[in-house]
Chain A
Amino acid sequence: MEPFTTLSGIAVPLDEANLDTNQLCPTRFNKVAKGPRFRDILLHDRRFNADGSEKPDYILNQEPYRQAVIAVAGRNFGVGSSRETAVFGLMGFGIRSVIAPNFGDIFYNNSLKNGLLPVRLPGPTVETLIRQLLARPGATMTVDLPEQVVTGPDGARHRFEVAPLSRKRLLRGLDEIAHTQEYAGAIRRFEQSQASAFPWLQPAS
């Protein structure tokens, strides 16, 4: 995983609540292998007509938002299906951090595993950020993970929380499986004690 430290750049306001993972990646693209195609898969049905042509009024199809690296969105971002392709879409587009009042649980975890930082800020703060971004298209923001601070277009600093272990993994770009393998002994001991306490759990059929 690519490490995440401090990210600065153009922020796109996605001024909408409940952007579920079906919107982020319509189901029919779940079969696509991870790769560059995901740039166009993100929010595909909002961005493209049925004939494949772009909808010019959708914000992600406008300059300078095509260069966005941060998205600021309404509540319940990423609820719904567990599809990790929703994260592949955002990453494919170039977005490395999403700021919203709250996130669907599975999407939140999927993001962390891919080096995309989901940032929870209070609803009124998010609304203010969205208003500022709409007023100044192309305004930049900064997401500072070491300091756990978001800097808005107006320079105001907003502190955010992120789970400590996830933060450590992101900062160092740690590989989770390799990390867990350090617990191989504990896993083996757990399996042994489970096998004697709950013998019926051992697979058989």
Chain B
Amino acid sequence: MKTLFDKVWDSHVVAREEDETLLYVDRCLIHEGSRHTFDTLHERGLAVAHPDKVFAFSDHYIPTDPRARAGGLANLPDPEIRNMIELLERNTDEYGIARFGWGDARQGILHVAGPELGLSQPGIALVGADSHTSTHGAFGNLSFGIGASETTHVVATQTIWQRRPETLRIRIDGTPGFGVTAKDIILAVIAKIGIGGAIGYAIEYAGSTIARMSMNERMTVCNMSIEAGGRAGMIAPDETTYQFLADRPFTPKGAAWDAALAFWRTLPSDPGAAFGKEVELDAASVAPMVTWGTNPEQALPITGRVPDPDRETNAERRGEYAKALAYMGLQPNVPLGDIAVDRVFIGSCTNGRIDDLRAAAAVAKLGRAVVPTWVVPGSEGVKRQAEAEGLDRIFTAAGFEWREAGCSMCTAINGDQLTPGERCASTSNRNFQGRQGPGGRTHLMSPAMAAAAALRGHLVDVRELGGRN
């Protein structure tokens, strides 16, 4: 009896040596930040083994300001940022690697645009030069993030050496309440097991709550596996998966589709297959979540209060909480709903998909933003879909800024960033110190909660805004 992870792992073993396995890699995703990989290829005169199995995206460095995009790459004022985007163009051209870059209708964040293209399929092994590659596991495959040296190894050999991780099943059952989304559920999981809770594990998410989720919601959950330290996050493929995949540019068609489908149906974990560790969560008990500190486990229901380090019994935690509060500029015991924000960011590979923008727009309809609020679609495809549905007009009518696709203020490397001390309600995935700009303060939450914060100017329980229908 095998788990989904076992099946995918076992079918990619090329060789074993000592405790390590040489795994075959079906797809490798890269982005502008992969410069160190190309630097090494050049330095060592290495060739790319299978350029047609490598896919490049412009996302981290690309501007999301519509005026900058309209002005063209050559006119981008910051030479260092322009250089990163141009480097990707030169490098991918040199090695014959497909690029979804500046000006391409398929451009977007690698974990949003990749699945839209149909690159993420059940049963494959996919790596990405980015830690949130765990996103793609929502399709029932083994996907994980790697560093620059590992990426060099993958593109040069189409393989990677790995130690086999343990398996962790996280079962989520129950019906989430009104206003509770996939983001709240994964934040609740991380709060429960901690940012180191899944180190050394490949996670499989299972249970009725997961089974009822859309692919976009499943991607939100798998995306943040890495925030619990997980090597990968996986969800068994089912009809929802197959419907999403049908007729994507890179998915099989006709008889090949039928053969693929028959294989995909064999992938879910066998009943009774053993996992190294099991965790359970009742979705009905989850409330809309926000982070108050400087890592994703420092999260609480919005109905809670800022923790008091003096009341923390664990000495180590006490110190950590005090440091987090000092950085975040927060006082203990303050209701989370009283925390004023300076701006709002809706986007990223966690929450920049169409479902996320619909949820944010449903809240935006209820009022007007009182702080600067950005909506950054995860891809050009998401942007077009949102515009076709009129979401962009809802956002602009509510005073939200509608921008171009990219990572933007999630990692603040393209120039979109907080100023020191600024406090942001953000739908991204990391609230580390300085993540959204040096000195910036981040509170993570769902798109609906972020939109609600935009209307009120402070963190607020989206359930209080009404709009229930």
A interface residues, Cβ below 8 angstroms from B: 16-18, 20, 22-23, 26-28, 30-31, 33-34, 45, 50, 74-76, 79-85, 87, 102-107, 109-110, 113-114, 163-166, 168, 176-177, 180-181, 183, 186-187, 190-191, 194, 198-201, 203-205
B250 at the A/B interface (Cβ < 8 Å)?
yes
B229 at the A/B interface (Cβ < 8 Å)?
yes
> Can you name 26 A-B pairs with beta carbons within 8 Å?
A22-B434, A27-B435, A30-B413, A31-B61, A31-B80, A31-B81, A31-B83, A79-B195, A79-B196, A80-B430, A82-B146, A82-B147, A83-B147, A105-B199, A106-B146, A113-B149, A163-B20, A186-B14, A187-B14, A199-B256, A200-B252, A200-B256, A200-B257, A201-B121, A203-B52, A203-B250
Contact A109 B18 (CB under 8 A): no
Contacts of A114 in B (CB 8 A): 149
Which residue from B53, B145, B294 sits with its C-beta under 8 Å from A106? B145
Which residue from A28, A104, A110, A166 sits with its C-beta under 8 Å from B150? A110
Give Cα distance in the complex from A20 to B432, angstroms. 8
B284 at the A/B interface (Cβ < 8 Å)?
no
Give Cα distance in the complex from A191 to B53, angstroms. 12
Residue of B nearest to A46 (CB): B433
Contact A105 B24 (CB under 8 A): no
Give Cα distance in the complex from A5 to B453, angstroms. 54
Shortest CB distance B189–A (Å): 16
Size class of the B contact interface (CB-based, 8 Å) = 35 or more
Which residue from B18, B53, B80, B149 sits with its C-beta under 8 Å from A164? B18
Contacts of B147 in A (CB 8 A): 82-84, 87, 106-107, 109-110, 113
Q: Please list the 3 inter-chain residue pairs (A to B) with the smallest Cβ-Cβ separation, ordered nearest first.
A: A200-B252, A113-B149, A110-B147
- Known contacts A177-B156, A199-B256, A203-B53, then 20 further A-B pairs from the complex at CB < 8 Å, ordered by chain A residue: A31-B33, A31-B61, A31-B413, A33-B35, A34-B39, A45-B433, A76-B196, A80-B430, A105-B165, A106-B147, A113-B147, A113-B153, A163-B20, A164-B19, A168-B18, A176-B149, A177-B46, A177-B157, A180-B161, A200-B259
Contacts of B157 in A (CB 8 A): 177, 180-181, 187
Contact A104 B84 (CB under 8 A): no
Contacts of A83 in B (CB 8 A): 33, 147
Contact A165 B20 (CB under 8 A): yes
Give Cα distance in the complex from A84 to B153, angstroms. 14
Contacts of B35 in A (CB 8 A): 31, 33
Contacts of B199 in A (CB 8 A): 76, 79, 102-105
B22 at the A/B interface (Cβ < 8 Å)?
yes
Give Cα distance in the complex from A163 to B164, angstroms. 11
Contacts of A204 in B (CB 8 A): 250
Query: Which chain B residues numbered 265 to 280 have a C-beta less than 8 Å away from chain A?
Result: none
Contact B131 A110 (CB under 8 A): no
Contacts of B17 in A (CB 8 A): 165
Contact A84 B149 (CB under 8 A): yes
Contacts A23-B432, A84-B147; A18 near B195 (Cβ below 8 A): yes
Shortest CB distance A46–B (Å): 9
Query: Which chain B residues numbered 154 to 190 have a C-beta less than 8 Å away from chain A?
Result: 156-159, 161, 163, 165
Residue of A nearest to B17 (CB): A165
Contacts of A30 in B (CB 8 A): 33, 413
Give Cα distance in the complex from A117 to B199, angstroms. 18
Contacts of B411 in A (CB 8 A): 27, 81
Cβ proximity bits B115-137 to A, threshold 8 Å, 1 near / 0 not: 00000010110000111000000
Give Cα distance in the complex from A102 to B81, angstroms. 34
B interface residues, Cβ below 8 angstroms from A: 14-15, 17-20, 22, 24, 26, 33, 35-36, 39, 44, 46, 50, 52-53, 61, 80-81, 83-84, 121, 123-124, 129-131, 145-150, 152-153, 156-159, 161, 163, 165, 195-196, 199-200, 226, 229, 231, 249-250, 252, 256-257, 259-260, 263, 294-295, 316, 320, 323, 411-413, 420, 430, 432-435, 438-439
Contact B438 A79 (CB under 8 A): no
Give Cα distance in the complex from A147 to B79, angstroms. 49
Give Cα distance in the complex from A26 to B35, angstroms. 17
Shortest CB distance A18–B (Å): 5
Contacts of B249 in A (CB 8 A): 205
Contacts A30-B33, A50-B420, A183-B15; A177 near B153 (Cβ below 8 A): yes
Which residue from B53, B129, B412, B433 sits with its C-beta under 8 Å from A23? B433
Shortest CB distance B79–A (Å): 11
Contact B14 A26 (CB under 8 A): no
Contacts of A180 in B (CB 8 A): 22, 153, 157, 159, 161
Name the residue among B36, B123, B412, B439 with the largest chain A CB count within 10 angstroms: B36
Residue of A nearest to B149 (CB): A113
Give Cα distance in the complex from A83 to B35, angstroms. 11
Give Cα distance in the complex from A85 to B121, angstroms. 30
Which residue from A20, A163, A183, A203 sits with its C-beta under 8 Å from B295? A20
Give Cα distance in the complex from A163 to B131, angstroms. 22
Contacts A30-B413, A102-B196; A82 near B19 (Cβ below 8 A): no
Give Cα distance in the complex from A81 to B36, angstroms. 15
Contacts of B46 in A (CB 8 A): 177
Contact A205 B250 (CB under 8 A): yes
Contacts of A33 in B (CB 8 A): 35-36, 39
Contact B413 A28 (CB under 8 A): yes
Contact B259 A176 (CB under 8 A): no
Contacts of B433 in A (CB 8 A): 22-23, 45
Shortest CB distance A190–B (Å): 5
Contacts of A110 in B (CB 8 A): 147-150
Name the residue among B145, B150, B439 with the largest chain A CB count within 10 angstroms: B150
Contact A31 B156 (CB under 8 A): no
Contact B18 A79 (CB under 8 A): no
Contact A31 B257 (CB under 8 A): no
Residue of A nearest to B49 (CB): A187
Contacts of B195 in A (CB 8 A): 18, 76, 79
Contact B438 A82 (CB under 8 A): no
Contacts of A186 in B (CB 8 A): 14-15, 22
Which residue from B39, B80, B146, B161 sits with its C-beta under 8 Å from A176? B161
Contacts of B83 in A (CB 8 A): 31
